[in-house]
Amino acid sequence: MVSAAACRGIVGDMDGTTPDHYRTATRTFLRFAIVMAIVGLLSGVLFQESGKKLDLETVDPGLHLQATITLALVHGHIFITCVLLPLAMAGMLFLAAKAGGAPVGARAVGFATRGYLPFATATVALMLYKGYHFLLMARGGEGSLAEIDASFFGGSPALRAGLYGLVHTGMAVTLVVFLVAVWRSLRGKAEPK
């Protein structure tokens, strides 16, 4: 078993020298990653069970693939964007400090916790909506992929483009703000202890 003292040597003293916003952000990242790992596992089960209900004998194989592929990809997207990246962001804070970097400011960390995490969640929700839209339309008897795609978001290309643009841009911008702040912290020197 690893002692508490050994852990403090690896990640810093969580009770004294670590900034409060690091502790808060780390708890947020960890809780988010735990919840999303469960959601990711459930999305894999949902895909397997939902995909079985679309019979290959009743639809064209190409339509079957297109109707199920988005749901198949949700599982991996959740684990990368909502589990691994938040864990990596939490780790970056402590590794940058251990490498002698200056503390990353609370505002930049807030971009990750109050910006990236909600946008990542919205991305997953959009994927689930798209996946089930395509699957349920195909299961309902719609044989034209063009018709299924045209009816997405109630047939509103502007709504579709606006939501996807907002969510993906928000996710990218908030992640880049955090990453640039960590990069810049590596140029600075931590206060002597």
Per-residue pLDDT averaged across 49-59, rounded? 77
12-49 per-position pLDDT tens digit: 554 457 889 999 999 999 999 999 999 999 998 988 88
**Share of residues in the chain with pLDDT > 90 (%):** 55
DSSP the chain: ---HHHHHHHH--TTTTS-HHHHHHHHHHHHHHHHHHHHHHHHHHHHHHHHHTS-TTTS-HHHHHHHHHHHHHHHHHIIIIIIIHHHHHHHHHHHHHHTTPPPPPHHHHHHIIIIIHHHHHHHHHHHHHHHHHHHHHHHTT---HHHHHHTGGGG-HHHHHHHHHHHHHHHHHHHHHHHHHHHHHTTS-PPP-
Instruction: Write down the pTM of the prediction.
Output: 0.83
Position 141 pLDDT exceeds 90:
no
Q: What is the pLDDT of residue 135?
A: 85
